[in-house]
Amino acid sequence: MRRPRRLLLALVLALGLGPAASRPANANGAPAVRVGDRPVDLHGDLAAQAAALAERLLDTPVQVDVLGRPVERSWRELGARVDVERLEGWLQQAADPSSPMREAAGARLPLRLPVEVDPAGVMPWLRELKREIDRPAKDATLDPETGAVVPEQEGRVVDAWGTLEALDAALRAGEDQLAVVIERRPARRTRAELEGVDVSTVLGTFQTPYNGSGDAADRTHNLRVAARKVDGLVLMPGEVFDFNEVVGERSLANGFKPAPVIAGGELVDGVGGGACQIAGTLHAAAFFGGLEIVERNPHSRPSSYIKLGLDAAVAWPNLNFRFRNDRSFPVMVRLVVEGGWVRGEIRGAARTDQVSFVRRIDEAIPYEERENEDPRLPAGVRVLAQRGVPGFRVTVWRIRRDPETNQARSTRDEVSYPPTTQIWRVGTGAPAPSGYEPPEGDTHGEYRADEYLESTQGPGIEGTETVRRAGRTGSPGWTVRAGMPPVEEPDAE
């Protein structure tokens, strides 16, 4: 019984037999079978021929265009896979006079290799290409030292999935040339936009100290990494500086190293420690520059490098610092890390207002103390793991005054810092051996902050004018007098 004509037509289309299928068969009834451009002996070892055809394809060289540079790879290296069992099955059907394939075939039977690209096989090479080629777009900036325009740089990314599709299409079409798919990403700020920009005037500036010793080398490294991402950036009128967007994720891949960070009010190891000092320094510079602060968050404990009310906590990706250029002219952000100081500046065309930072401590919240048993220490030995820091509730004003008209306008903010628990490690191990010296604990001194502080920058003022009254919270020994657990001789803010 003959098979339905519809089944035979479907088989013809699936195998790509084309018009040759309508021709009469050879005298012996066996069609001339070719896989691609290679003939197949239906009376020979079909399994060996299928394997040889697959190896021949996989060893075929392919020219891959990588950004205009020709790179030669074999199909095997590009992740090509041949279904050898399926190919052998087709050849067996072609050799079987009773098979539907033979009924559909004519004098010639052209077959295609059953091939595909395996993503797992080519991904290592694509990842290598991405490491070599991928780069973010860089906006045009101003050279912080000379003011010259630094041209923009186009970003580019290897489109891995687009390249996989191109590989698969070339493999199925029998082509030996293709191009890696590159996604182009234009810069947002071009050189033309910055030509003639005037940033000769300092609108606001601030500097914070850092420890440049070997013990803090990784933190210093992070300061410099973050600073390089910021220095020279230009904001056009109305644009917002977004710290997390500009600096990016604080990760090893982004150039940062592990260094202490504040988490839950305690210092712990984390990648990117030091980023908050960059954010705080910029916040203070933008504050004295009179720019609009869009988003700023205080730390969970006072910072030793900056005064209460001027710090800015950041954490990727949710805790951010942002400010807006609300001037009618472009401004440039400067950030320099050298000589034990982090110096931030906001520069632009003109400065008209005197800006004052006024801070008043309204309440000091005592810290608590706890002991944690530590079997690594000898019995009875106590080591200060974390110095206690009082909490504070403060009021901050920013006063902007026009020195020509003496008219002033101000904004007010209330900021809270929770207290930091004082923690002791108490040994529960074996008795201390003779001559034992306990390890050094937290060496921070007593945290002090002036009860009233006023700092002003602007026209007619050289540097920063400061008025301070130590009051109750700025005098040595104030935490002990307030009933908080003592440690050692106090230190200054």
Whether residue 426 is found in the same domain as residue 328? no
- 357/422 same-domain check: yes
The burial class, CB within 10 Å (0-12 / 13-18 / 19+), for 14 is exposed
pLDDT for residue 373: 96
Tokens of 439: 């390890």
Helix (H) or strand (E) holding 126, with range, is helix 119-133
Determine whether 61 is exposed, middle or buried from the number of CB atoms within 10 Å of its CB (0-12, 13-18, 19+): exposed
Instruction: State whether 340 and 377 are in the same domain.
Output: no
CA distance 374 to 350: 59
Q: Quick one: pLDDT at residue 100?
A: 87
My answer on whether 319 and 369 are in the same domain is no
Choose the final residue of a domain: 331, 351, 371.
Answer: 351
**Sign of the torsion angle spanned by Cα atoms 145, 146, 147, 149:** negative
3-state secondary structure of 373: strand
User: Would residue 270 count as lying in a domain?
Assistant: yes
Residue ranges of the alpha helices (H) in 145-247? 160-173, 191-194, 217-230, 243-247
Q: Let me know if residue 369 belongs to a domain.
A: yes
Domain membership flag for residue 435: yes
Beta strands (DSSP E) in 188-321 are 201-209, 234-235, 240-242, 258-263, 266-271, 292-295
Q: Is residue 158 part of a domain?
A: no
Query: Are 369 and 413 contained in the same domain?
Result: yes
Instruction: Report long-range pairs for 88-92 (Cβ below 8 Å, ≥24 apart).
Output: 88/46, 88/47, 88/50, 90/15, 90/114, 91/33, 91/40, 91/42, 91/46, 91/49, 91/50, 92/46
User: CA geometry: angle at 288 spanning 287 and 289, to 5°?
Assistant: 90
Domain shared by 332 and 407, yes or no: no
339 with 284, same domain: the answer is yes
pLDDT value at position 105?
77
Same domain, 357 and 347: no
Tell me if 362 sits within 8 A of 393, measured CB to CB. Answer: yes
Q: Assess whether 204 and 308 both reside in one domain.
A: yes
Number of domains in the chain: 3
Give me the pLDDT at residue 147, please: 84
Q: pLDDT below 50 — which residues of the chain? A: 1-27, 489-492
Q: Give whole-number Cα distances, 351 to 89, 239, 381, in Å.
A: 83, 19, 58
Select from 351, 379, 412 the last residue of a domain.
Answer: 351
Residue 18 lies in a domain: yes
Q: Is residue 133 part of a domain?
A: no
Q: Please indicate, yes or no, whether residues 278 and 346 belong to a single structural domain of this protein.
A: yes
CA 386 from centre of chain: 31
| Structure confidence at residue 400 (pLDDT) | 96
The pair of structure tokens assigned to 79 is 């992740």
Whether residue 69 is contained in a domain is answered as no
The string of pLDDT tens digits covering residues 66-77 is: 999 999 999 999
Q: For strand 369-374 and strand 422-427, is the pairing parallel, antiparallel, or unpaired?
A: parallel
Which of 351, 382, 416 is the endpoint of a domain? Answer: 351
User: Domain range spanning residue 390?
Assistant: 352-493
- Is 33 contained in some domain? yes
Shared domain for 202 and 339, answered yes or no, is yes
Instruction: Indicate the SS3 state at residue 80.
Output: strand
Q: Are residues 229 and 89 in the same domain?
A: no
